[in-house]
Amino acid sequence: MSRPAARAVPVTDEYVAFCEGVRRLARVDLTQYRRLQMERRVLAFAQRRGKPNLLDYLALLATDPGELDMLLDRITINVSQLWRNPLQWQALAEQVIPELVRSGPLRAWSAGCSYGAEVFTIAAVCREVAPSAAVSVQGSDIDERMIARARLACFSDADMRTVPPRSLERWFERIDGGWQVRPELTALASFAVENLLECAAPRGSYDLIACRNLVIYFTDESRATLHRMLAGALRPGGWLLVGSTERVADAAAHGLELVYPFIYHKS
Ligand SMILES: C[S@@+](CC[C@H](N)C(=O)[O-])C[C@H]1O[C@@H](n2cnc3c(N)ncnc32)[C@H](O)[C@@H]1O
């Protein structure tokens, strides 16, 4: 009986040179992501663009900024939506935010915010729970095109599919082809371009951090670096939200305890 053929794994020496080239062109370090998945995705993308190997594709990237943009779009995966994972927002509204606003102004950070859906969700949920509390929500992402979109505060119908009807009516205005966030929420939000693997967030300065659906392609080492930095950026008593398929490895070592599904408390 013949064995099934081994699955082709596109690990090539060119990959390291390609990563170095992309790091120079875009200041994005692909070696911080899991090589197997990343190499497979980049190679498939290059081949669809008519380039048989990564070095030919790198030569194209060096001369065509539009192509570089498309590659970054592909590899950073910017998918998001408002009220993504609704149960998490319910736990936040019922358990976490009431406690946080009792102890003073609430400072939140959406780390890896893509085009801002998570930032405005946090802002809306805080406002609904505590209409007069002082709240600020900062969003950051490595992809400057996403941050430019976030600053526009406009969302498509698809982005809005899990927004509770009352929240939709209260915080968003119908515009041509989508929805505009009302000024009551945009006033709470600010945005910055930032690589989370290279930033040094001030220690103990946030009450709430959401870092969701971002680490799936990170190496274990990059995940640990990121979670250590995020835990350090939380004040004692603060909260960290992760994605619904994610966990913080060695949470206790960072002073974090899982209290609600995908929501950690910092002791
Ligand atoms: C799938 S989106 C998640 C958006 C939002 N957090 C959510 O859950 O809906 C992942 C985002 O992480 C960003 N990202 C990936 N690597 C990053 C890094 N090293 N630093 C900052 N942002 C990063 C991507 O650009 C992308 O916008």
Residue 180 Cα to ligand 1 middle (Å): 22
- Residue 200, C-beta contacts closer than 8 angstroms, at least 6 positions apart: 229
pLDDT in tens, 105-145: 999 999 999 999 999 999 999 999 999 999 999 999 998 88
pLDDT at 12: 63
* CATH class assigned to 86-266: alpha beta
Whether residue 69 contacts residue 145, with contact meaning beta carbons closer than 8 Å, is answered with yes
**Residue 171 tokens, joined:** 């915080």
**Site to substitute for ligand 1 among 82, 161, 214, most atoms within 8 A of C-beta:** 214
According to the model, what pLDDT value does residue 2 have?
A: 41
The C-alpha angle with vertex 121 and arms to 264 and 175, in degrees rounded to 5, equals 165
Ligand 1 contact, 39 CB (< 6 A): no
Report how far ligand 1's centroid is from the alpha carbon of 163 (Å): 21
Question: What residue spans define the domains of the chain?
Answer: 14-76, 86-266
The 3-state DSSP class for residue 215 equals helix
The pLDDT-based confidence of 196 (bands split at 50, 70, 90) is: very high
Q: Rounded to whole angstroms, what are the CA distances from 264 to 81, 164, 230?
A: 22, 24, 11
pTM of the model: 0.88
Please name the residue whose Cα sits nearest to atom 15 of ligand 1: 76
Cα of 142 vs centre of ligand 1, distance in Å, is 7
pLDDT digits (tens, 9 = 90+) for 33-80: 899 989 999 999 999 999 999 999 999 999 998 898 888 877 877 889
Distance from the CA of 3 to the center of ligand 1, in angstroms? 40
pLDDT at 66: 87
Q: What is the pLDDT of residues 203-212, one digit of tens each?
A: 999 999 999 9
Determine how β-strand 263-266 pairs with β-strand 154-155.
unpaired
Q: Treating both helix axes as pointing N-terminal to C-terminal, what angle do 14-26 and 35-48 enclose, rounded to 10 degrees?
A: 80
Span from the CA of 241 to the centroid of ligand 1 (angstroms)? 14
Q: What would the pLDDT profile of 217-260 be if each residue is shown by its tens digit?
A: 899 999 999 999 999 999 999 999 999 889 999 999 999 999 99
pLDDT at 3 over 70: no
